[in-house]
A and B are shown apart, each in its own frame.
Chain A
Amino acid sequence: MSNDYFRVLVVDLESGKSTVEKVDGRNRVAGGSGLAALLYSMYGRPGHDWDDPLQPFILAIGPLTGHYPLMSKTVCSFISPYHNQYTESHGGGRSALALFFAGYDGLVIVGRAAELCCLSIGSRHVQIKDTGFMRGMNSEGSGKLIRRMFKKASGHRSIMRIGPAGEIGSAMACINVDSYRHFGRLGGGAVMGVKNLKGLVINGDGDLPRPPGKAYPEVFKKVYRQVTSTDMMKKYYHLGTAANLQGLNEIKSLPWRNLQQTTDPSVSEISGEVFAEKTLLRNGACSGCPVGCIHLGFFRDQFKKEARYLYHQVPYDYEPIFAAGSMLGVTDCFDILRILEDFELVCIDAMSAGVALGWATEATQRGLISEKQTLVRLSFGDAAAYQEAANYLGRGVNDFYRLLGMGTLKAAAEYGGEDFSCVLGQEMAGYATGELFFAAQSLGFRHSHLDTGAYSWDQKHADKDVEAGVGFLMEDEPGRVFLTSMVACLFARSAYNDEQLGECLEAAGYENLAATMSGTAEYIRKLRWKVRVDSGFNPKDIVIPQRFYKVETWKGKIDGGYLDALKSEYGKRILALVEGFEP
């Protein structure tokens, strides 16, 4: 590892050979999001489809990974099966520190293995093992086998694997990271699937010298104190993001029953408090993060008439509870965990799957589809049916589920019901907060609620000022892009303001980056949008379904004209970013 260049491992699964590359550009692209875009520009195949084995699967960490608290995320980038364009997905667990301690800033995987396989890398090994016997295996079983098959390193390695959804090329296929975290959105699991890559093990078995000088441990201590001794992170480790359910429901912003409602008194049964009191078993953390925001719930099932029970542990957060709970009208906290576990086992993204099944339920109600397609009668609140459907969707058991797995709008184009598809670039995140969020998720780089703080803006602004709203989105993005280039967890954005980031970079030996943060952030923003636009992104191709125009929030009915104006202006401003930009 060096402060001047990136050390990148490039693995060709077809030949089984690897190379270690020195890649220049640290002061231009920093790492993480910036490095991922740079690596795609080097190894990507513009014009080739997402499932071309030559297309790279990229992991990238940043200059502050392993150096400071909450610098614990990895950026995964690929051409998405969802829209056939470049995208990123972010995941935590032990992935970031494992790659760091293995001695790499980035990992690029190209080619397709002849057989289903697992790849294991570390500071002194690259190993590929055929694992044809894992075909169709769920995330739990494959995790158990991978732990047994590869050399002992419990707690000091990251294990990523896909389920059946990835193997069949579902655009909703996620990658399970260390059991409880994910590269969730936009189908990264399918990209591993087309490479015949069932699992990826990264052993963090190396070590590096500490940055010289007295400043580094002092700055570390300061940040550590701030995130552990103040209330700054309390909302993440106390009830966790699940605390938002009640608040968003109160301001008519929680999607219920395929967004037919934005508030419902049943929220009292699925609130963060209820999950904590009834289901919370324990907490967990990504490596390097003392906050420990992972909330592990449990459910138990009686499997015999006598007092014989089994239990399962399932991670929960706001978004999965929205997706498997309010969006599907399921209001029993244990049932929500059961559905989430079934999503987990087949490795489909919970948000995407929940929203897709919400559409399928309403399409059933309206008579557009029937059990001929869904195999099980879907109705809001029927948790057992959704558990069954999760398995059908993840395994793509028929044409209907295969198509739905490629995106709700694709299924709606075939069966009807586009107007009530809750899709904003991809299946919506759980924020029916208003016009700015709808425009922002539709056009955002990752179609994620974390691309910008639009959901927060909506909750504070009732005025309809296009310039102010879009201006906020444009101003908010570079800071987040810089954080995801470090690579910080975005929950840490209040701890890492510009001043703190500059101090951290300087103490870690990145004086040049510290001195050019704002310019570098803008460069990275443009670079990754350039890569995205070159891969086919056009704001005009994205249509916001009619359902979003009928939503009622605390501000009243959605103003369709305002929403259209926001989307139009935001699209123009994104395209203006890359106009004339030459990396």
Chain B
Amino acid sequence: MKLLTTPRMDRCIGCHSCSLACARLIHQRLSWSASGIRIHSSGGLSTGFVAVRCLACDPPPCAAACPTGALSPRKGGGVIVRKKHCIQCGDCVSSCPVEAIYQDAAGDVYLCIHCGRCVEFCPHDCLELQDLDDINEVLL
């Protein structure tokens, strides 16, 4: 089981290429936010960037909060998303302890599905799709 990790965020230049790739390729959107990974400046531009993304909780509280089964636990952590079951209640958003789920104005929710499509668009290898067994420490 593979998970998206962000082991080298100290290299991040804030170009948003990862977020834009996820929005473009997974969600068919042009956006900074309609994406499973979102880059925020941390303490102002002068101190660097942080990637806000699903940390693959196991068991995931968002799946427990979801009343319709749109989010269900994924083996190894994180969730499987069945968008057609989503009723846009937003309960998953408030249940996520690390604010990794974004809900847009139309009510649609966006979170990382650990597909790794964003990885190749990072110019500085900040991101990596890693086997669960190889992850010794969660780095942000």
Which A residues form the contact surface with B (CB < 8 A)? Answer: 66-67, 69, 97, 100-101, 123-124, 143-144, 147, 154-156, 178-180, 204-210, 216-217, 220, 224, 228, 282-292, 294, 313
Contact = CB atoms under 8 A, between A and B. Distances in A.
B41 A155 contact: yes
Nearest to A144: B44
B13 A179 contact: no
B123 A205 contact: no
Contacts of B30: 66-67, 100-101, 207-210
Given A101-B32, A207-B33, A290-B121, A178 B16 contact: no
B17 interface: yes
A345 to B, nearest CB: 14
Given A144-B44, A154-B42, A217-B25, A228 B123 contact: yes
Contact of B15 (A147, A179, A180, A287): A287
Contacts of B121: 224, 290
A290 B49 CA distance: 15
B38 interface: yes
A155 B39 contact: yes
B33 A287 contact: no
Contacts of B68: none
A17 B121 CA distance: 41
B20 A288 contact: yes
Contacts of B139: none
Contact of A290 (B17, B31, B32): B17
Range of interface residues on chain B?
Answer: 20 to 34
Given A123-B105, A228-B123, A156 B15 contact: no
Interface string B36-67: 00111110111001000000000000000000
B16 A292 contact: no
Q: Which of B24, B34, B38, B45 has the largest number of chain A CB atoms within 10 A?
A: B45
Contact of B14 (A124, A208, A224, A284): A284
8 contacts: A101-B30, A155-B41, A207-B29, A207-B30, A282-B13, A284-B45, A288-B15, A288-B16
Nearest to B16: A287
B40 A155 contact: yes
A285 B40 CA distance: 13
Contacts of A179: 44-46
Contact of B104 (A207, A220, A283, A294): A207
Contacts of B46: 179, 313
